[in-house]
C-alpha cells in the first residue's frame, strides 16, 4: 500500500487527539491483573494495543468491547498459562511488559512476534528476572525472541541497566507488585526515557498500587500489593499528536487538538516546546493545545533522551526548516521498530536533505525535494515522512503500518485540509 502525500498549503480545524498507546497498554495489562472489574474509557484500538489485549485474554482474562469502552474482569493476579505460543506481532511494548507478567502464571509461556520484533534486545530484562527467581531465557541464546518465561515470581532484589529500554523497568514494576516478596530494583547508569516509567507508576497508582522511588539512587521499591479494579479514562497521546502539531507548524496552520492534558506525564509533551522554539505559536490550556503556524521554521538543537519516539517527527521538522537542526541523546532510538537514526537518515537523504548520522542522533540541514521513500515497516517513520510530503509532495511505500498507533491517520489529515490518499 502506498501513501500519496500532496503538497498542501493549510491545515485547520479542531480535533481530538488519538488515545495514548502507552497508557492503553498499561491500563489493559494492569486492569487484567486487578481484583474486581474495570472500565477502560476511550482506549486506543490499534495493532499494538490489540496485541496486549489478546495476550491478556489468552492468559485467562475476560475483556469485552462495549462501544468506545473496554470492560475488563480482573484476574486477581491468577493468570493461566496459554495453551500455545503468544504471537505479539510487532508490539515491543506487549512483549516486554508481558514477559514479567507471564511469571505470574503457573507454567511456561513462550513469546514470539514478527521479523522485526524477533530482533529486539531482551537480555537485560531476562537477567533481571532471573535475579528475582524467574526462569526466563531466549530460545536462541541470543537475548532476543522467542522468549520463554517460567511460572513463579519470588521477588527480591535485582538491578538493570537504565540505558536500554524503560519498558524493562515498567515491566518489572507492574508484575513485581504481585510477586511473593515484592521487588527492590536498582537502575544502573543513565536512566533514559524516565517519563515512560512515571506513566507506569501513575497507572499503577490509579489501580491502587504504590511504588516508592529514590531519585538520588535510582532505586525502586514495590511491596506485595493488590491492584483494584477501577474506571479509567485514557488520555490523549502526545506521540501521535506530534504529527498534527508538526503539520500545523510546517504549514499555515490553525489547529486545536483536544484531550491533550497540560499536566500529562508523557515525555513526548516536549514536542510543544520544540515546535514553539522552531517558530510555531503554541497555546496550552488544561485539556487542549492550539497550534498556529506560518509555514516558516528555524532549525534548533534538541536532546531527545527522554522522548525517543519524537526522533522521526523532529527529523521531519528539521528537513523543512531553515538552517541546521541537531538531534542528540537518543542512541536508544536505534533499538525501536527500526534503527530510527539510520532509517530517518536514509529516507531523508532520498529527498535531497543533507543529513549527517551520529551515534546518538543526527545533524540535518533543511532543504528537500519530492521523491519516493520507504517505510521500513515503521509506523512512526510513515507519519513523519508524510510531514515532509506536505511541503513538496512524496510517495511512501508500504505505508499501511501507520495502523500500529494511529489507525485513521491519512483520513484525519485529509479532513483537516491536507492532501493524503492511499493506493494499492
CA-to-CA distance for 235 and 44, rounded, in angstroms? 10
Q: What is the mean pLDDT of the chain?
A: 97
Residue 424 clears pLDDT 90, i.e. is over it: no
Cα–Cα distance for residue pair 163/11, rounded to 1 Å = 38
pLDDT in tens, 83-139: 999 999 999 999 999 999 999 999 999 999 999 999 999 999 999 999 999 999 999
Q: Is the pLDDT of residue 375 over 90?
A: yes
- Model confidence at 18, pLDDT cuts 50, 70, 90, reads very high
Is 355:378 a contact under the CB 8 Å cutoff? no
Which pLDDT value is given to residue 34?
98
Classify residue 111 by burial, with Cβ atoms within 10 Å: 0-12, 13-18, 19+: buried
Catalytic member of 309, 339, 378, 403: 309
Largest CA distance in the chain: 59
> In the prediction, which pLDDT does 195 show?
95
Is the pLDDT reported for residue 337 higher than 90?
A: no
Active site residue 309: yes
Which residues touch 419 (CB under 8 Å, ≥6 apart)?
4, 5, 6, 7, 8, 390
Binding site for 3-phosphoshikimate: which residues? 21-22, 26, 165-167, 193, 309, 336
> 3-state class of 238 per DSSP?
helix
- pLDDT for 335 equals 87
Convert the pLDDT of each residue in 215-271 to its tens digit. Answer: 999 999 999 999 999 999 999 999 999 999 999 999 999 999 999 999 999 999 999
Residues 363-386: what's their mean pLDDT? 97
pLDDT of residue 186: 97
Instruction: Report yes or no on whether pTM surpasses 0.85.
Output: yes
CA 360 to chain centre: 19
Q: Which residues, in sequence order, are CB contacts of 30 under 8 Å at separation 6+?
A: 174, 203, 204, 207, 227
Q: What is the pLDDT of residue 120?
A: 94
Residue 355 backbone phi and psi in degrees, to 5 = -125, 130
pLDDT over 90 for what percent of the chain?
98
Which domains does the chain show, CATH number per domain?
A: 2-18+236-423 (3.65.10.10), 21-233 (3.65.10.10)
Which residue's entry shows cell 535485582? 158
- Look at residue 79 in the predicted model and tell me its pLDDT: 97
Structure confidence at residue 409 (pLDDT): 97
Annotated binding site: 21-22, 26, 92, 120, 165-167, 193, 309, 336, 340, 380
With CA atoms as reference, report the closest residue to 389 among 415, 357, 424, 414: 414
Place of cell 501507520: 402
* Model confidence band, residue 153 (pLDDT cutoffs 50, 70, 90): very high
Binding site residue list for phosphoenolpyruvate = 21, 92, 120, 167, 340, 380
Amino acid at each position: 500500500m502506498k501513501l500519496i502525500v500532496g503538497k498542501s498549503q493549510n491545515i485547520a480545524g479542531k480535533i481530538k487527539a488519538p488515545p495514548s498507546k502507552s497508557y492503553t497498554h498499561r491500563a489493559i495489562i494492569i486492569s487484567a491483573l486487578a481484583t474486581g472489574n474495570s472500565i477502560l474509557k476511550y482506549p486506543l484500538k490499534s495493532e499494538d494495543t490489540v496485541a496486549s489485549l489478546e495476550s491478556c485474554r489468552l492468559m485467562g482474562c475476560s475483556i469485552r468491547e462495549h462501544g468506545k469502552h473496554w470492560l475488563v474482569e480482573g484476574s486477581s493476579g491468577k493468570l493461566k498459562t496459554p495453551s500455545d505460543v503468544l504471537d505479539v506481532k510487532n508490539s515491543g511494548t506487549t512483549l516486554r511488559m508481558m514477559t514479567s507478567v507471564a511469571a505470574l502464571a503457573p507454567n511456561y509461556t513462550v513469546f514470539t512476534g514478527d521479523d522485526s520484533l524477533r530482533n529486539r534486545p531482551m537480555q537485560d530484562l531476562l537477567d533481571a528476572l532471573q535475579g528475582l527467581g524467574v526462569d526466563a531465557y531466549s530460545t536462541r541464546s541470543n537475548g532476543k525472541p522467542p522468549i520463554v518465561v517460567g511460572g513463579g515470581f519470588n521477588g527480591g532484589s535485582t538491578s538493570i541497566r537504565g540505558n536500554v529500554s524503560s519498558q524493562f523497568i515498567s515491566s518489572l514494576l507492574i508484575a513485581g507488585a504481585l510477586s511473593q516478596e515484592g521487588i527492590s530494583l536498582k537502575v544502573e547508569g543513565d536512566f533514559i526515557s524516565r517519563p515512560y516509567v512515571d506513566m507506569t507508576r501513575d497507572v499503577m497508582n490509579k489501580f491502587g498500587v504504590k511504588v516508592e522511588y529514590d531519585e538520588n539512587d535510582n532505586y525502586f521499591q514495590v511491596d506485595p500489593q493488590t491492584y483494584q479494579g477501577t474506571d479509567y479514562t485514557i488520555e490523549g497521546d502526545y506521540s501521535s499528536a506530534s504529527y498534527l502539531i508538526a503539520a500545523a507548524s510546517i504549514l499555515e496552520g490553525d489547529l486545536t487538538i483536544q484531550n491533550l492534558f497540560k499536566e500529562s506525564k508523557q515525555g513526548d509533551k516536549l514536542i510543544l516546546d520544540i515546535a514553539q522554539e522552531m517558530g510555531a505559536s503554541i497555546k496550552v490550556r488544561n485539556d487542549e493545545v492550539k497550534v498556529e503556524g506560518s509555514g516558516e521554521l528555524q532549525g534548533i538543537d534538541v536532546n531527545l533522551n527522554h522522548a525517543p519516539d519524537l526522533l522521526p517527527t523532529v527529523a521531519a521538522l528539521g528537513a523543512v526548516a531553515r538552517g541546521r537542526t541537531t538531534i542528540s541523546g537518543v542512541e536508544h532510538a536505534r533499538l525501536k521498530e527500526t534503527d530510527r537514526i539510520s532509517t530517518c537518515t536514509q529516507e531523508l537523504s532520498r529527498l535531497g536533505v543533507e543529513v549527517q548520522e551520529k551515534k546518538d542522533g543526527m545533524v540535518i540541514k533543511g532543504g528537500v525535494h519530492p521523491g519516493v521513500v520507504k517505510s521500513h515497516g515503521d509506523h512512526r517513520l510513515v507519519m513523519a515522512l508524510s510531514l515532509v510530503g506536505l511541503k513538496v509532495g512524496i510517495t511512501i511505500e508500504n505505508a499501511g503500518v501507520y495502523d500500529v498507533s494511529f489507525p485513521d491517520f491519512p483520513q484525519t489529515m485529509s479532513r483537516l485540509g491536507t492532501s493524503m490518499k492511499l493506493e494499492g
